[in-house]
Structure 1
Amino acid sequence: MLFLSVIFPLAFIGLVAGNPVVVEDICPGNKVVTSTQFIGKDKNVKMETITCDTPNASDAVEKGALLEAGQSINVCGAACDTHCFQPSGGGPDPNDCHIIADALRFDSQNVGPMFTVATSTTGVCDSNNTLSLSFASCTTFFRNQGNVDLEYCRTDFASLVDFIAPNCQATQNAHGGLCISKETLGWFVQVQHS
């Protein structure tokens, strides 16, 4: 306990003294939490559905524009490119992120294998919807930036969380990261410090 009481103030001083790491905001504009619940076996992972305003309409991806209202595209198994946030320091604890991944796997078996992230709550392509999951030092989210609803597998999301969290740390000169879809559907998964 003495160890923690000495380390915590030193860590805090390091953050205040000019650590350049800035926690990324989930939304670049206004953020509205449309639902909150706790998931996983122990119901200890906070899940929020968040609507983010798009800074301008040209940021929305056009693929899927011909789909009928209510249709969605399944992007389970879709490839994405991983990028780590630099510089090093301030990343999430990979063990906390693994709790989120386990909660996703539990829900995959007990709720359903997929989830849907809509593109807009208004029916107009004017917002990005995000599914955010948080536990202790780790926050991860799936962001739909396109103009069509997307379905994604909980186990794929869990695998990305388990890959990004330990591979985008200080030893890689990073503090979290994201995996951006290789397709033009406009989605990504991000892992960062809460």
Structure 2
Amino acid sequence: MVVQIPRLLAVLDALDSPAAQELRGGLPRCDSTFGLGLAVFLSATAGGARGWLGPDGARALDALDGGALLDELDEALAPRHRRTSDGRAWRVLSVPVMDGPRARGLLCAIADGEGLQTGSAFVLQIHLGQVGAVQLVAAGEGRTLDVTLQTAGGLSSAILADMQESFASSLADAGLKGTLTVGPVAGAWLDFDGRLSADSVV
């Protein structure tokens, strides 16, 4: 899907530049707008590519190729079902994230429930230019939330301390308890499609 998004935006730029700029602004970004952008994108794409683009943009693209590009995007937006080596079943979705001038893929995986004794779990994976591969695994049960963050590149002690403080503060505000564990990706990377690795672009 990451490949299709820049292609679609380039085509839409030629047809309706303001609409293309508006779509770029709605994509998640690796900054303070990430959470809001991700929520907006996931909500908007519940209706597929046409739901994300809106009726005017969809009609403009439909007129070019009969909807072929939109069909490709709808297929890319559709969640996949994968099973990891530990036997858990996951619902996996790839989301484009604007990281500077280019789009990268954020893999979102939610445990389908099968193979989990209790609670729930989700995984986020992305490959960032300055940090490298990043995988976040969160598991919750009752009022407990445990998070493991794996990174290909090292993080400074100041960043680690700030992360631990922010995590503890956020849990306290929500009335939860839990732990944040940070470490290298070696030996811990969850593989969802047989191709992803710590040095691959998700």
For the aligned pair, the TM-score class normalised by the smaller chain equals under 0.3
Structure showing greater relative contact order (alpha-carbon pairs closer than 8 Å, 6 or more residues apart): 1
Tell me the TM-score normalized by structure 2: 0.21
Going by fraction, where is helix more abundant, 1 or 2?
2
